[in-house]
């Protein structure tokens, strides 16, 4: 499997999981200097997994053309060498120019181009098998035309991607919105441990306050 991670933050949790795994190639294009501060180009795996991690840190202010060129130059030779059976896309959209946390300058059309690049690589090297996992990215409300899916179509529309909406009974209880209790609220803090980030930690410490 080959993981492509274009979230503006480096996926240090994903990297840590597969750091010594020769069966998974991890490729990250991210903003250098942003949280969590990892993802240097010299981080390339260890032991049996040496050479199966590829980090492409880019400076703040990088635009869509720069991110796309960097991704293509790293992904195509990696896929040709590694020959994956599946391409997994960690699709974070916090590199959008309207996102308040990231400092990349990508547009909705840029994300369409990034997705098209990954689809082409998946078609060439792994029989078109590609799974896209939505990560972070919350641009402020704006015109409808900016609310686009990763292939350029309106989110949830006919942009080449379909949205699966499960009935509430089929959703894991841990993913449902918690019921609010009168007079109480929860304050949630990330663990902040090395090797975990906000997207990949999967656990939270909870403190109840009255």
Domains of the chain plus CATH, in order, are 2-153 (3.40.800.20)
Instruction: Provide the pLDDT confidence category of residue 138 given band limits of 50, 70 and 90.
Output: low
Peptide bond into 62 cis (omega under 30): no
pLDDT over 90 (residue 92): yes
Q: Which of the 8 DSSP states describes residue 79? A: H
Does residue 79 or residue 145 have the better pLDDT?
79
For residues 178-206, give the mean pLDDT.
Answer: 41
Q: Work out the mean pLDDT of the chain and round it to a whole number.
A: 78
Is the peptide bond preceding residue 155 cis, with omega within 30 degrees of 0?
no
Using the structure block, give the residue that is written with the tokens 């991690």. 53
Provide the phi-psi class of 137: left if phi over 0, else alpha when psi is between -120 and 50, else beta.
left
């Amino acid at each position: 499997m080959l993981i492509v991670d274009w979230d503006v933050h480096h996926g240090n949790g994903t990297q840590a999981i597969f750091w010594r795994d020769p069966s998974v190639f991890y490729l990250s294009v991210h903003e250098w200097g942003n949280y969590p501060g990892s993802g240097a180009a010299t981080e390339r795996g260890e032991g049996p997994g040496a050479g199966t991690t590829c980090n492409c840190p880019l400076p703040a202010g990088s635009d869509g053309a720069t991110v796309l060129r960097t991704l293509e130059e790293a992904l195509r030779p990696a896929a040709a060498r590694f020959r994956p059976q599946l391409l997994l896309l960690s699709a974070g959209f916090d590199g959008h120019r309207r996102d308040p946390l990231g400092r990349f300058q990508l547009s909705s059309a840029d994300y369409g181009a990034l997705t098209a690049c990954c689809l082409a690589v998946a078609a060439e090297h792994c029989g078109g098998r590609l799974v896209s996992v939505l990560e972070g990215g919350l641009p402020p409300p704006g015109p409808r035309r900016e609310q686009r899916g990763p292939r350029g179509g309106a989110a949830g529309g006919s942009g080449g991607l379909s949205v699966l909406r499960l009935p509430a009974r089929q959703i894991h209880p841990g993913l449902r919105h918690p019921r609010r209790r009168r007079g109480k609220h929860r304050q949630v803090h990330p663990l902040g441990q090395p090797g975990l980030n906000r997207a990949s930690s999967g656990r939270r410490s909870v403190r109840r306050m009255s």
